[in-house]
Chains A and B, each alone.
Chain A
Amino acid sequence: MTTRGLWGRIHSLLLLALLGGCAASPPAPVEDRAAGPAAQEPHVPAEQAAVPAQVRTFPAPHGSGQAVTAPAEQASLATAPDRSTMPPPAPPREPEAGNPAVVALLNRANQESGAGRHDTAAASLERAIKIEPGNPWLWHRLAVTRLAQGRAGEAASLAAKSTALAAGDPALQAENWLVIARVHRARGEEVAARAAEQRAHELAAKSS
């Protein structure tokens, strides 16, 4: 055999392997959503994400003004099996994020959520929170994403965390109460859900 031939055979051997001739290890799945440079990602306006209509409509003011939730319902909040049937409410306005990295991650999270990939959306939000841990918007978005992931108990706590960071921002606090209302409603706790919505309504009125 000529030496030229040997080199050629090595070449074709590797080519053959590339075409799937080898059995040693299954190829890793290639993801089609390879993330390009974050800054170059198309910007997704918030409106583009699916907004279920009923989220934005506040219920008629509930006159009673009693305690927000009954204790029995409260007990189920943390432990009851989560339901994933709830569509996530989308952010009604652009979050206040100064850092371009956070903006890029939020955009990516929006895209992922829009495509129904809530796990990856949550991961992007967590990365953003590590950059701006005091940004209540990011915690709110994560709460909303947890709802979509069917992890309602965590969603309620994350909404509370967002509220604790959002002093002086009644609009965002209202959004967080809506998340809590959705958690209640998903569990059939109608009274508690309405009360939370009432609270959201009051806060929203305060902000406008």
Chain B
Amino acid sequence: MAPERARGARRVVRARRGLRRLLATVSLRVGVLAIVALLLYGAWLDLSVRSRFEGQRWQVPAHIYARPLELYPGASMSLDAVVSELMAAGYHASDDMARAASYRKRTATLEIRTRSFRFWDALEPARLIKVRFQGNAVSGIEEGGREAALVRLEPVLIGRIQPGQQEDRVLVRLQDVPRTLVGALIAIEDRGFFEHHGVSLRGMARALLANLRARATVQGGSTLTQQLAKSYFLTAERSLWRKLNDMAIALLLEARYSKEEILEAYINEVYLGQDGPRAIHGFALAARHYFARRLDELSLPEAAMLAALVKGPSYYNPRRHPDRARQRRDLVIDQMTALAMVEPALADRAKAQPLGVASSPGAAGSDYPGFLDLVRRQLQAEYQDEDLRGDGLQVFTTLDPGVQQAAQEALTRTLTRIEKGGRHETGSLQGAVVVSEPQSGEVLAVVSGRDPRAPGFNRALHARRPIGSLVKPAIYLDALARSDRYTLATLLDDAPVQVPGSNGQVWEPSNYDGEVHGQVALIDALARSYNLATVNLGLALGLDSVRDTLARLGVSRQVNSYPSLLLGAIDLSPMEVTQMYQTIASGGFRQPLRAVREVIDAQGRSLGRYGLSVEVAVDPRAAFLLVHAMQEVIRSGTGKAAAQALPAGLTVAGKTGTTDDLRDSWFAGFGGDRLAVAWVGRDDNRSAQLTGSSGALRVWIDLFRRIRPRTLAMAPPEGIAWGRADLARGVMLGEGCGEDALPRLPYSASRAIARCTIDSAPLAQPLPTPAPGTPGGPPGERSWFERKAQEAQ
């Protein structure tokens, strides 16, 4: 038995030996393979970590700002208007005004502790000022016991141009992060941060113990580095493999980068909440989102709240779950106290404070969709799309938040009021408003429809409608530029006219009231918007000449040559109409309407400045006379409702426009520093049952009552004289002539009419159509303006 057994044992041993040899070979190969695979994987991880860390790490959206508010003695700005602008800029009402971006309101004074702000041309330092008001204007500004001449406030952030992903960020450098915040973060999330090499066994053990004790996950054992690793390759997966992967990346990060670099990356990367589709990344944006504060302004409890959010931004959302949030905030403060970062007394005070979350998350961008459309359009004309994405550009625009709000309210409320009148179905009317500044060409407000938050169709920019009588000033301007033939007093023929069309049809316009008024002075024909007088005048001037004048005024669209042009059969958007009236309101100088002043990159370098520029468009004397006639529209003509509704002493000028079947209701008008164009109609282009006076003018009046523009006090240019006018006979008398009862009107002094008799009064005869652009004055007396104006075409 024994040898048998021995043999058997030998066989077993041999078999075992073979198996072992086989196993050894296989495992060696597998091992080598595994090591190679691991190395390869490690190399790949390293590569992707490096590219992520060192490449374009963050996409920062372009930030778009409103125009900065300039405060100076005499500025037409009420205390309440300044306060609402401060609130829009995220300033806080505060009694002690201990921190920047706070204000204190008194009866007629406003104290402001401003933030410093870097404009493209200069750094405005932080200041403590006391602004005094008298009525609706600033009467003085005191700073440190002295009178300050001018303070430029930080502008309101009105929107962002998002990069590809819906991520938002405000980048911050580590040196600008307050110590309290870093302390809070390390105390609650990773107190071994300075010791570990990416992974903390002690931290994990501590977390495990704490979780076992509490029988729930109360602590995560992840280091800050692991959390950063996790955010780099964001998936919802929570497997062991994933965990190991994060550890590997964390080890790689620590091997390659310093603690400062890792911490800075973390502070800018960490996800801290959601604002609709917008993800809030990084502490700087979170400070703005939750507290309307810059990082360096955060108090201890605020910093602790942000650190508390890291564990679960939605679970601890202080807006939705204040109790939970507060509990965790206090836990952070306790941890800091335990680590001797905070004195116990200070900690108690901090914990006694409310969360202090800003009331609105300041969802910038949603308030001004109409204006931002215009900004985007102007930027797209200048920049490639990729230039605007991900570079942290700052765009300074011309938006005036107060004017924008007033314009929106004027439109919304007036349309509702009109519909309540009973003749309109509720919600059937639509409208648009554009407001600009006549002397600078800056667009102050764009209202794209009744509902301020509906993005959709931007009527101000894209709704092209016939402009009706809004075209008339161009025709009268054309006439007044021929100062040898036309004055404001010249009689026009308001008589029926028939114009044969090309297809055998005959165009036979009529007046709105159906009457024929006979001989009417030019100024009255415009003020009352007589169609027949205008058509006769336009035909005498020539269609080409009228088209030419329209082009000079800034109508860049190709305009048809049909006689119906004379009654406004051209389709323009409210924005295009604003451009046309801008030239009139600025006294004959054309300026491209601008919504963007300045674009600077993340480093503060200027990429583009869009400064003030003017072009001579028409004879300033003719423009002055036209503006005078447009004041008569308000005084006695189709716009006289404005004269009744606006404060006495506020001079404005304007023109109504109405189209066939009352489809479109227009008004364009201006004071000294504000030009506004309003359109009211229906989206389906059916009759709105409104004239210019009964629709758009009411919107315009409402707006001008709210924004209180300066009075129109256009300086008469050189070559303008004043005299009495005999409107019944169509005669301008020279200076010092005529009875006092006759109205005083301006006229172009180049016209040789300085006479006191009216017998030889020259009546305007229908003229043969002159060549387009022929200037009015005698050849030797053509002014520089006339030649410039002509050459500009």
Point out the residues of chain A lying under 8 angstroms from B613, CB to CB.
154, 157-158
- List residues 21-53 of chain A with CB under 8 A from any CB of chain B: 21-29, 31, 33-40
Nearest-CB residue, chain B, relative to A127:
B70
Cβ of A68 within 8 Å of any chain B Cβ, yes or no, is yes
Nearest-CB residue, chain B, relative to A101:
B72
Cβ of B713 within 8 Å of any chain A Cβ, yes or no, is yes
List 18 additional A-B contacts (Cβ < 8 Å) besides A27-B173, A164-B587: A10-B183, A17-B174, A28-B602, A29-B603, A67-B780, A74-B787, A100-B72, A101-B72, A101-B73, A103-B149, A104-B149, A122-B612, A131-B72, A133-B437, A133-B440, A134-B439, A156-B788, A173-B718
B439 x A133 contact (CB < 8 A): yes
Cβ of B175 within 8 Å of any chain A Cβ, yes or no, is yes
A37 x B143 contact (CB < 8 A): yes
Cβ of B96 within 8 Å of any chain A Cβ, yes or no, is no
Cβ of B785 within 8 Å of any chain A Cβ, yes or no, is yes
B73 x A164 contact (CB < 8 A): no
Residue of B125, B785, B788 ringed by the most chain A CB atoms within 10 A: B788
Contact A78/B589 with A7-B341, A36-B125, A129-B612 known, Cβ cut-off 8 Å: no
Which of B254-262, B307-315, B517-525, B761-769 is near enough to bind chain A? B254-262
The docked-state distance in angstroms from the alpha carbon of A188 to that of B743 is: 49
B74 x A99 contact (CB < 8 A): yes
* Sample (15) of A-B pairs whose CB atoms are under 8 Å apart: A3-B338, A3-B341, A26-B603, A100-B147, A123-B121, A126-B440, A130-B440, A133-B439, A157-B613, A157-B614, A161-B616, A163-B717, A165-B587, A165-B717, A167-B716
B589 x A164 contact (CB < 8 A): yes
B182 x A160 contact (CB < 8 A): no
Nearest-CB residue, chain A, relative to B604:
A28
Nearest-CB residue, chain A, relative to B784:
A68
User: Interface residues, chain A, CB within 8 Å of chain B?
Assistant: 1, 3-4, 6-7, 9-11, 13-14, 16-18, 21-29, 31, 33-40, 67-69, 71, 74-75, 77-78, 99-101, 103-105, 119-120, 122-124, 126-127, 129-131, 133-134, 136, 142, 154, 156-158, 160-161, 163-168, 173, 180
Interface residue tally for chain B (C-beta within 8 Å): 82
Cβ of B263 within 8 Å of any chain A Cβ, yes or no, is yes
The docked-state distance in angstroms from the alpha carbon of A130 to that of B674 is: 12
The docked-state distance in angstroms from the alpha carbon of A27 to that of B183 is: 24
Contact A24/B261 with A9-B194, A10-B179, A133-B439 known, Cβ cut-off 8 Å: yes
A56 to chain B, nearest CB (A): 22
A-B contact count (CB 8 A): 214
A157 x B589 contact (CB < 8 A): yes
Interface of chain A: mostly helix, strand, loop or mixed: helix
Nearest-CB residue, chain B, relative to A195:
B784
- Chain B, residues 122-150, CB within 8 Å of chain A (1/0): the string is 11110100000000000000010011111
A142 x B612 contact (CB < 8 A): yes
A5 to chain B, nearest CB (A): 9
The docked-state distance in angstroms from the alpha carbon of A74 to that of B123 is: 41
Point out the residues of chain A lying under 8 angstroms from B124, CB to CB.
35
Which of A13, A105, A130 has a CB less than 8 Å from the CB of B437?
A130
Contact A6/B194 with A21-B260, A101-B73 known, Cβ cut-off 8 Å: yes
Which of B149, B174, B179 has a CB less than 8 Å from the CB of A101?
B149
- List residues 306-358 of chain B with CB under 8 A from any CB of chain A: 338-341
The docked-state distance in angstroms from the alpha carbon of A27 to that of B602 is: 10
Contact A40/B146 with A18-B175, A22-B173, A157-B616 known, Cβ cut-off 8 Å: yes
Nearest-CB residue, chain A, relative to B143:
A37
B324 to chain A, nearest CB (A): 27
The docked-state distance in angstroms from the alpha carbon of A156 to that of B614 is: 9
Which of B72, B118, B264, B620 has a CB less than 8 Å from the CB of A17?
B264
A20 to chain B, nearest CB (A): 9
Point out the residues of chain B lying under 8 angstroms from A35, CB to CB.
122-125
The docked-state distance in angstroms from the alpha carbon of A27 to that of B122 is: 16
The docked-state distance in angstroms from the alpha carbon of A25 to that of B172 is: 8
Contact A78/B791 with A24-B264, A99-B73 known, Cβ cut-off 8 Å: yes
The docked-state distance in angstroms from the alpha carbon of A69 to that of B788 is: 10
A159 to chain B, nearest CB (A): 10
Point out the residues of chain A lying under 8 angstroms from B672, CB to CB.
133-134
Contact A6/B718 with A14-B175, A22-B264 known, Cβ cut-off 8 Å: no
B150 x A16 contact (CB < 8 A): no
The docked-state distance in angstroms from the alpha carbon of A17 to that of B123 is: 23
- List residues 138-186 of chain B with CB under 8 A from any CB of chain A: 143, 146-152, 171, 173-175, 177, 179, 182-183, 186
B261 x A23 contact (CB < 8 A): yes
Cβ of B265 within 8 Å of any chain A Cβ, yes or no, is yes
Point out the residues of chain A lying under 8 angstroms from B744, CB to CB.
none
The docked-state distance in angstroms from the alpha carbon of A13 to that of B439 is: 53
Nearest-CB residue, chain B, relative to A176:
B784
Point out the residues of chain B lying under 8 angstroms from A158, CB to CB.
613-614
Point out the residues of chain A lying under 8 angstroms from B614, CB to CB.
154, 157-158, 160-161
- List residues 716-738 of chain B with CB under 8 A from any CB of chain A: 716-718, 720
The docked-state distance in angstroms from the alpha carbon of A134 to that of B712 is: 11
The docked-state distance in angstroms from the alpha carbon of A99 to that of B260 is: 51
Point out the residues of chain B lying under 8 angstroms from A180, CB to CB.
784
Nearest-CB residue, chain B, relative to A133:
B439
A165 to chain B, nearest CB (A): 5
Which of B122, B268, B713 has a CB less than 8 Å from the CB of A134?
B713
Point out the residues of chain B lying under 8 angstroms from A131, CB to CB.
70, 72, 74-75
